[in-house]
Amino acid sequence: MQTTQLKLFDADSEPTADGMRRYRGVLTASVNQKGVLDVDTVKGCTLGMRVRPDGGCYGECYAAKIATRYGIDFATSVSRKLMPWDRASLFCTVRDFDASWYRIGTAGDPCHDWDNTLDVCEALQGTGKIPVIITKHWIALTDAHIESLRAVRAVVNTSTSGLDTDAETKYRVAQIKRIHDAGVRSVNRIVTCSYGSSDWARAANEKQKYLLSIGPVIDNPLRVTKSNPWVQSGEILVERQERAIGGGKIISLHSPHAYLGTCANCPDQCGVTQ
C-alpha cells in the first residue's frame, strides 16, 4: 500500500477507546484505484455486516477487507457530514473532476443515512456532476427521498446477485422498479458469477439469468479469494485475470465480455451514459 493511501486511511478514521479505529464523521472526496471519485456519505455497513458477519456480502466485501487490514470497525456505519470549513474545497474537487459523475456507496451503504446522502447531493448539485448512488436498500427510500433523488438527477445502482436469498432478490427488484417508475434513473448492478453444477449452483445461476433480464444492467463480476467455501466446493468457478483493475485478480467470470478495467474507459459509466 502506498504512503499516500496510508495517509488517506489515517485521515478517514480515528482511534476509539476499544482499540479499534472508527471512520470519522467528516465528508471527504477521493479517487480510488479504478479512477472513480468517491464521495461516501456513509462509511461502514452495520446492517450488511449483521446479515453476513463473516466477511460482509458473499464473504468477499472488499471494503470490509480493507477496513480489517487497517483495524477499522466496518460493522459500525458512520454518517459523513459536509463540514462548513471544507465545503468550498470539496465542492471544487467534485466540480473539477474529469468525469461527469461522482459515486456514493463505495465503502459503506448510503441507505444507513438517506437524509444525509440527499443533503450532500443537493449541496453538490451546483458542480454539474451527477451523483451515482450504489445501495442494497437495507433501509428503504421514502417517497420523499425518491422525489429528491429525481430533483438532483441521481442515478441509483441497486446491487443484486444470484447469491442473494429469494427474499432479498424480490425486495431489491421491487426497489429497482419503484425507483424507475418514479422517474429516477434506476440501474440493476449485478454481482455475477460463473457457477458450477450442484443443485445450489444451478439455482443461483437461474436467479442470475432472471436478474440479467431486468435492465438496464451493469455486469459486476465477483472478485473472490480461492479460500472462499463456494470456490473450494466448485460451486463458484474462478480464473485469474491479470487485466483486472482493483479488488483482486481472482474473478468469477460468467462472460468474457465483462469489463474489468478503469472507470475512465468503462462503457457503462455506472449507468450515467447508458
Taken in order of first residue, the domains within the chain and their CATH numbers are 3-223 (3.20.20)
pLDDT at residue number 4? 36
pLDDT at 63 over 80: yes
Q: What pLDDT band is residue 56 in, cutting at 50, 70 and 90?
A: very high
pLDDT 10s digits, 105-157: 999 999 999 999 999 999 999 999 999 999 999 999 999 999 999 999 999 99
Q: What pLDDT band is residue 18 in, cutting at 50, 70 and 90?
A: low
Cα–Cα dist 28/11, whole Å: 9
Give the number of residues written for the chain.
274
Ranking 217-221, 223-227, 258-262 by mean pLDDT, the lowest is 258-262
Cα–Cα dist 137/208, whole Å: 19
* Whole-number average pLDDT of the chain: 92
Cα–Cα dist 54/37, whole Å: 28
Look-up of cell digits 458512520: 78
pLDDT 10s digits, 241-273: 988 887 778 999 999 889 888 888 888 999 998
pLDDT at residue number 17? 55
Cα–Cα dist 222/252, whole Å: 5
Cα separations in angstroms, 99 against 117, 121, 188, 213, 223 = 20, 16, 21, 28, 25
Q: Which residues contact 267 (CB under 8 A, 6 or more apart)?
A: 259
What value does the mean pLDDT take over residues 153-178? 98
Cα–Cα dist 25/211, whole Å: 35
Q: Which residues contact 238 (CB under 8 A, 6 or more apart)?
A: 194, 224, 226, 231, 250, 251, 252, 253
Q: What is the CA radius of gyration of the chain?
A: 18
pLDDT at 7 over 90: no
Amino acid code (one letter) for 101: W
